[in-house]
A and B are shown apart, each in its own frame.
Chain A
Amino acid sequence: MSARGDQSPPRAATPSTHGELLARFAVSPARRRKDRLARGLIMAGTAIALVPLVLVVYYLIKQGAGSWSWDFFTTDPTGNTFFKTSSIGGIESAILGTLEIVALAAVIAIPIGIGVAVWLVEYGRDSAFANLVRFFVDVLTGVPSIVFGLFIYIVLIVGTGSSYAGYKGSLALSLLMLPVVIRSAEVILLLVPGALRESALALGAPRWKVILRIVLPTALPGMVTGVLLAIARAAGETAPLLFTAAATNKTTGDLGAFMNSLPVQIYKDVTSPTTSVVNRAWGAALTLVAMILVLNLIARLISRRSRLA
């Protein structure tokens, strides 16, 4: 309580209550204010980030849901842009076109992408050549999607003197999907524990069996997730299709002919002065976003079942 006898050295006045003790160590009001301010700003920033999402979804549903009807999904657009709703048609060819073009793109990009990823992880590893490939794959990731369209245009339309076709759009999209598939597959393959490969090798398995029977099955859920996300990305792309698959109104199963697609259809309709056409664009946009969200959802569910990270 009071200072002890003369033996103890002189020191600052001892605090007599808890409050005073803690007060010595308390955070100054200025610091506390700064902390609160900073936290407030950070939370505000986060909220700002979420606002567009809410607004986009809300407006999309508000403007688009009204267009949804059985006819909407089962009639082709008529190409009429000046008349009332009934004569402008629906978006059937757009939906089917997207399904066809993206499916072909996936069939091309997935085997090649997974093959390159397997090579990178199992054979190339850290060699100079492998790192060069990785570098170029990264380069490919950054290429604007419209440039892919230009490239296919140069090679397959100018180069061969032929015209637009659905499969050319697929090729442009597969170029876009390739780096995404390669990177996500590589990440997953790297997560497969080395001990697994070792055990298989130690049993006297040839390398190709180790890869095909042990590594790939273990990595499968993760790779499926990556593939689905790549497909979702490709489904939403417009620019690569503008000068490759171009657009048409009729539904066609022929990938060698002009083919419609949802993003291109929306793009065409956006600039129309006719309200009903714009409404169709909203309906198509809602459809497209719904498709992509479903793919994302499935991808997430599958990744939960993955035994790797």
Chain B
Amino acid sequence: MPSGDRSILERSPLARLPDRVLKYGLTALAALILALIVFFFVRLVGESKPAFAHNGVFGFAFDNNWDVSREKFGALPLVLGTLITSGLALLIGVPVAVATAIYANELCPLRLRTALTILVELLAAVPSVVYGLWGIFFLAPKLQPIEQWVADRLSFIPFIGGGTVTIPNYFVAGLILAIMILPIVSAIAREVMATVPSDHKEAALGLGATRWEMIRTAVLPYCRTGIVGGAMLGLGRAIGETIAVTIVIGDAPQLGKHLFGQGYSLAAVIANEFGEAQGLHRSALFAAGLVLFVLTLLVNIAARLLVNRAARKGTTPTATQGAAGGGQPVAGAVAGA
């Protein structure tokens, strides 16, 4: 007979309480996150309305003049500036990041691997304002003669050639962004490459392939989706990056005529002008923020889908794949029979 104090009948409601509290409390918290974001979006749209009403949505997006004094808020130079600098960041940053990942995973001597990984990750530890500081006082001046040389030599190419090089310019902004997205693109590329089954690699090597041929045929094709996803995450980061870009891009009200001249970006305009903006101007800045938000949203969603699809080929959960299906911790331990 069971001993007295261990009846297996119903626990008192009081004893059940902590379980209930925890469960519903945490569920509410999770729902709170959802509510927050929706609220976020709604308020932002609300504050942007006046600007859209003034110019029309397309007017806002495609007019090439951001003239505060005359209350003209065409955001085209901003959008394009954002795209140019981010595009540049991808162009320069992604190949370097992938090269670093390949080196770390496939070519690097084992004992150097951790050190290399840590060094690349340290790039992410530098705050953006410090990158801006370093960019404007060190990088931009050092690059100016080179940029001038390029502009002079390639004057026949529109946008790149001709014109004088100013210290804040699109190119330096793009370069700094490339440096800033290096860590994340490299980290994702490395993680995806690590999921390549060693059978594939051994098969290639066993056939007598050189190291590079093995990488080219067994590793890279397998990782293509994941690397593209990683690049898009880098893109998202570059689009939203504010302070470093603000410092090194200048503040041209119209689309810059060339790569080495001053430019502007969505994030930069907000940082520069929000402090003293009033009324319609302020609303226009909110609208710029909205465009920024939507842009990064779309890029990030696409990026997540790609990274998750690639990461699902592997088995271990990683930081990049936190969203790729939760684990079932209890189920995992149960054997079939």
Interface residues of A in 96-154 (CB under 8 A from B): 112, 115-116, 118-126, 129-147, 150-151, 154
- A-B interface contact total, Cβ < 8 Å: 288
Interface members, chain A 159-193 (any B CB < 8 Å): 175, 178, 183-184, 186-187, 190-193
* Chain B residues whose CB sits within 8 angstroms of the CB of A133 once the complex forms: 30-31, 33-34
Q: Which of A140, A158, A184 contacts B319 (CB 8 A)?
A: A184
Q: How long is the Cα–Cα vector from A138 to B120 in the complex, in angstroms?
A: 23
- CB of B103 within 8 A of CB of A46, answer yes
Cβ-defined partner of B129 (8 Å) among A136, A236, A293: A236
Contact residue among B213, B240, B271 (Cβ-Cβ distance under 8 Å from A242)? B271
Task: Tell yes or no: A203 within 8 A of B by CB.
Answer: no
Q: Which of B208, B289, B299, B325 contacts A150 (CB 8 A)?
A: B289
A243 at the interface (CB under 8 A from B): yes
A139 near B297 with CB under 8 A, answer yes
> Which of A27, A55, A112, A147 is in CB contact (< 8 Å) with B208?
A27
Query: Which B-chain residue is minimally distant from A148 (CB atoms)?
Result: B40
* Known A59-B138, A151-B43: A38·B212 in contact at CB below 8 Å: yes
Flag if B99 contacts A266 (CB, 8 Å): no
Q: Is the CB of A123 within 8 A of B271?
A: no
With most chain A CB atoms within 10 A of its CB, the pick from B30, B241, B289, B318 is: B30
B134 CB–A CB distance under 8 Å: yes
Q: Is the CB of B44 within 8 A of A42?
A: no
B119 adjacent to A144 (CB under 8 Å): no
Q: Which residues of B contact A239 (CB under 8 A)?
A: 242-243, 267, 271
Q: Given A45-B103, A144-B293, A183–B30 Cβ distance below 8 Å?
A: no
| 0/1 interface trace, chain A 266-298, chain B, CB 8 Å (1 if under) | 110011000000100110010011001100100
- Report whether A288 and B130 are in contact in the complex, using a CB–CB cutoff of 8 Å: yes
Asked whether B100 lies within 8 Å of A53 as measured between CB atoms, the reply is no
Given A35-B210, A49-B96, A116-B26, A194 and B322 touching (CB < 8 A)?
Answer: no
Q: In the complex, are the beta carbons of A194 and B33 less than 8 A apart?
A: no
* Chain A residues with CB below 8 A from B9, complex form: none
Query: Counting CB contacts under 8 A, is B125 at the interface?
Result: yes
Given contacts A27-B210, A138-B323, contact A145 B242 (CB under 8 A): yes
Q: A residues within 8 A CB of B233?
A: 142
User: What CA separation (Å) do A60 and B16 show in the bound complex?
Assistant: 58
Inter-chain contact A146/B327, CB cutoff 8 Å: no
Binding site for A on B (CB under 8 A): 15-16, 18-19, 21-23, 25-27, 29-34, 36-37, 40, 43-44, 47, 95-100, 102-104, 107, 116, 118-120, 122-123, 125-134, 136-138, 179, 182, 186, 208, 210-213, 215-216, 233, 236-237, 239-243, 247, 267, 270-271, 274-275, 286, 289, 292-293, 296-297, 299-301, 303-304, 316-319, 322-323, 325-333
Q: Are A187 and B319 in contact (CB under 8 A)?
A: yes
Residue-wise interface mask of A (73-91) relative to B, using a CB-CB cutoff of 8 A (1 in contact, 0 not): 0000000000000000000
Instruction: Tell me the complex Cα distance, A25–B15, Å.
Output: 76
| 10 A-B residue pairings within 8 Å (CB atoms) | A46-B99, A49-B120, A60-B130, A142-B299, A183-B322, A193-B333, A197-B329, A197-B330, A208-B19, A267-B243
Q: Which of B15, B236, B329 has the most CB of A within 10 A?
A: B329
**In the complex, what residues of A have CB within 8 A of residue B27's CB?**
119, 123-124
A23 at the binding interface (Cβ < 8 Å) = no
Are B326 and A292 in contact, with the CB atoms below 8 A? no
Interface of A is mostly: helix
Partner of B297, one of A46, A142, A186: A142
**Closest CB in chain B relative to A301 CB, distance in Å:** 12
- Please name the residue on chain B nearest to A158 by beta carbon: B47
- Contact yes or no, B210 A195, CB < 8 A: no
Total interface residues on A, CB under 8 Å, equals 104
Q: Is the CB of A116 within 8 A of B133?
A: no
CA distance in complex: A45, B102 (Å): 10
Which chain B residue shows the least CB distance to A133?
B30
Task: A116-B30, A267-B132 are known; give 19 further A-B pairs, CB within 8 A.
Answer: A42-B99, A42-B107, A45-B96, A48-B96, A56-B126, A112-B29, A119-B29, A119-B30, A130-B30, A134-B323, A140-B37, A144-B241, A146-B271, A193-B332, A207-B23, A243-B274, A285-B129, A288-B130, A293-B122
Docked CA distance A250–B193 (Å): 51
**Cα distance A300–B122 in the bound complex, in angstroms:** 12
Task: Find out whether the CB atom of A236 lies under 8 angstroms from the CB atom of B128.
Answer: yes
Q: Which B residues touch A192, using CB under 8 A?
A: 329
* Distance from B75 Cβ to chain A, minimum over Cβ atoms (Å): 15
Q: How far is the CB of A66 from chain B (nearest CB, A)?
A: 14
Inter-subunit contact B102/A124 (CB<8 Å): no
The one of A60, A137, A151, A289 in contact with B40, judged by C-beta atoms closer than 8 angstroms, is A151
For the complex formed, measure the closest distance between the CB of A171 and the CB atoms of chain B, giving whole angstroms.
11
A232 contacts B by Cβ under 8 Å = yes
Cross-chain contact of B126 among A123, A190, A289 (Cβ < 8 A): A289
Interchain CB contact under 8 A, B275 and A242: yes
Chain A residues near B129: list those with CB within 8 A: 236, 238, 263, 266-267, 270, 285, 288
